[in-house]
Structure 1
């Protein structure tokens, strides 16, 4: 995908300095300003794209007591250029007239920004300096309250950082063409000031009129006390309206935790027409080589992997790969919502929306009808053409014809050759369309761990492949948001390779770590089973050999896909109630 050449606008100003309203005007002029915006809980739209925000914070540390640049100049330019490249691709998709972005720390990064946003050989980036009196900014900051009534962002250096941002911005703009946008005059004479901005950005009268109407309506709503920030309202074409209230809170908590995420190795920007695969790993050296091989064979173009402190060579393996971005998260896995919170935040804040992503584990391999001949690029084209944005799957445990403690995976052996058997029946699918907990979802139950160990049922549904929009999120490892995505067709399956000879050690480790759901209940059940019975064979009358995707289609676990863009729904028969 060639990077398109479009005009770019950077909005420069302090926190509480009026940059949000200017970026909102640019959005209504027809610029792409992002679509997943940071929720600052401050009563108005921020129009601060979370991907750009994350990159800015990689360039400049805004935390109290750390107010300083990060990395060297060239690295900061490279980081800011990532957003420019992504935004240009998105702008073409949205038929936007250009790109525009804001974050207060850009005031400290004007030279880097100028290089990063004009590096495609196009025209120089337009710079808009939002002028507002420093004392008014400081007063607005101190008066701002979060929904809980607490100060919006309490810190002891408010005056210093406001004055520093303004001083640094103004000195960087000396001798550089730019527009000074008068925030106070906007409030007095909106049509005049919006007209000046439109002329500078070379926007026509129709778009200017749309922006004026938006600003007038916004002021009227604020005057009536109407809240304008609810997180979901930032989304472009949300699929299912307002999400449960806990989602924006969870997203903010995850975003805050990602301040501590460390970048071990990150490759150049990934174009939007490439498929990304995200994993969370901890001591997966045994399974990773074959899982990487599998997803490469399906057409994955890049892996983005968060390691949670492996000490078995996992990180060294990943860093030796040509297509893996590698990160390190020091926080406890228990805080990640089963990994789904971390994977969702990584996608939104490090790669941006508007792309197809596979979220998987190192012991999981997604399959679908005829995947041996049709890769993920074929699949996403079919899904897109049929108006679908996800591939729901059932997790199918695979095992060998021996006891699992003697199921040794040889070097260079594929896991499906070591563990080729699966239960071809005994699984049950149930749709919960209007559950009491307000989370519509699909429940799959069955498989060897339930039949042999009486483990908790119903945790086998997953939605590994999705097209990520602003509102997309992995609610937990088994439920996608928007909830409609859990019910899409066609469907696929996930081959699950837990039952290898290292499992006894894994069980002991996970019980000791106690980072899994429900205090690692499944691992405790399995540990007791191993302690009383030793090696366990999972072979039963239900066992069948996996011989390709036709096996899971024939068993009713995945849909037949007509690759001419029609699909026939095949769902295992539900039990009678």
Structure 2
């Protein structure tokens, strides 16, 4: 793991981690707007400690994270894309600190929703999975968007993402078995509908396995979309009747235009960034993603009714 040499410890509170703690791993850059709610939401859900890599933020993210007592922080100025979009950095931290823990690997613009989250915690879920010898929990990444143009979706720091981004696509998702990794690939949502309708094969993957009972032999092969060994890619396989969740994806806050400009210049977010020039151009045009089929967000039960979240055998 040569990529560990790219990390510099900023503040190390890992001595506070208890043997049964649920951990969260993330790579961030300039996420001072989203991080307060990201941390608040996942603390309430049951995360005890956050292990975060800061990739050269210059917006106050570093200072904010240093002030959080349940955060251990590392920093690196190195290439996000060359580290497999941050996964090499996180893999080292997972190997070092995650063994035997349930580990959530998330982005700062994601909020994990599980079935019953208004009355049950991640601990309840992981206890149920442990009792059945299941080591994974999968979730659909669900793009949220406003009814207005993106620039008009005003967000108040620390509030739920759904306050500013209140809609999602409930239909139009394609599910496909990928034999190589034995995973279910899912594509769909407003980005496929509006930006990739002429090239659906380039639309972002929406399937993820963000929660794993970690073992040193495990590794994410493609962001959190695919895990090795392949037996871990069972979360969306209906034959197992497992519960699944949703990752509320707050990419399209009012700062989306500014961030898209920066991402287009840095070319750090896609394996073949030249294929996404048109995508960035369309984001910069400040579109309205809402249409007559858009579904208002109404909690996990609404997601279940839309077929995007499942209780499985976890009744």
Q: TM-score, normalised by structure 2?
A: 0.91
Alpha-carbon deviations, 1:316-345, whole Å to 9, x = none? 110111211010123211122122222121
Question: Structure 1 pair 522/368, CA: closer, same or farther in 2 (3 Å)?
Answer: farther
**Deviations for 1:197-224, whole angstroms, at most 9, x for unmatched residues?**
xxxxxxxxxxxxxxxxxxxxxxxxxxxx
2:181 maps to which of 417, 439, 443: 439
Post-superposition shift, 1:262? 0.6
Which residue of the partner structure matches residue 518 of structure 1? 271
CA offset digits 1:233-266 (Å, max 9, x no partner): xxxxxxxxxxxxxxxxxxxxxx112123111001
User: In structure 1, what is the Cα distance between the partners aligned to 2:21 and 2:301?
Assistant: 27
Aligned partner of residue 372 in structure 1, secondary structure: coil
Q: Runs of 5+ in structure 2 lacking a partner? A: 236-241
Q: Which residue of 2 aligns with 1:52?
A: none
Q: Is the 8 A contact 1:341 1:476 kept in 2?
A: no
Per the alignment, residue 281 of structure 1 pairs with 28
Residue of structure 1 aligned with 2:38, choices 272, 291, 294:
291
Is the contact between residue 358 and residue 465 of structure 1 (CA under 8 Å) also seen in structure 2?
yes
Paired position in structure 2 for 1:418: 164
CA distance in 1 between counterparts of 2:247 and 2:273 reads: 21
Distance 1:514 1:323, change over 3 A: same
Are residues 1:449 and 2:191 paired? yes
Alpha-carbon offset, residue 305 of structure 1 = 0.3
Higher helix share: 1
Of structures 1 and 2, the one scoring higher in RCO (CA 8 A, sep 6+) is: 2
- Give the deviation of 1:473 after TM superposition: 1.0
Gaps of 5+ in 1: 1-254, 569-577
Which residue of 380, 385, 392 maps to 2:131? Answer: 385
Alignment RMSD: 1.7
Counterpart of 2:253 (choices 500, 509, 521) is 500
Q: SS at 2:217's partner residue?
A: coil
> Which whole-Å deviations, capped at 9, do the CAs of 1:359-404 have from their partners, x for residues lacking one?
0000011112111111111110011112211111111100111111
Tell me the alpha carbon deviations over residues 471-514 of structure 1, each in whole angstroms, 9 at most, x when there is no partner.
11111111112212221322111110001111111111111111
State how far apart, in whole Å, the 2-side matches of 1:333 and 1:470 are. Answer: 23
Question: Does 1:536 find its partner at 2:287?
Answer: yes
Supply the distance in 2 between the matched residues of 1:558 and 1:317 (Cα, whole angstroms): 33
C-alpha change, 1:439 and 1:527, in structure 2 (3 Å) is same
Residues 522, 300 of structure 1: alpha-carbon distance in 2 compared, 3 angstrom cutoff: farther
CA contact (8 A) 2:115 2:243 kept: no
Between 1:514-523 and 1:392-401, the stretch displaced more is 514-523
8 Å CA contact 1:406, 1:535 repeated in 2: no
1:556 maps to 2:307: yes
Q: Report which of the two structures shows the higher radius of gyration computed on alpha carbons.
A: 1
Do 2:37 and 2:157's aligned partners in 1 also have CA atoms closer than 8 Å? Answer: no
| CA distance in 2 between partners of 1:257 and 1:462 (Å) | 23
Normalising to structure 1: TM-score of the pair?
A: 0.51
Task: Output one character per residue of 1:406-434: Cα deviation in whole Å (capped at 9) or x when no partner.
Answer: 111123322111111111111122222x3
- Contact 1:363/1:498 (8 A) holds in 2: yes
Cα contact 1:305–1:325 (8 A) shared by 2: yes
Alpha-carbon distance change, 341 to 442 in structure 1, aligned in 2, over 3 angstroms: farther
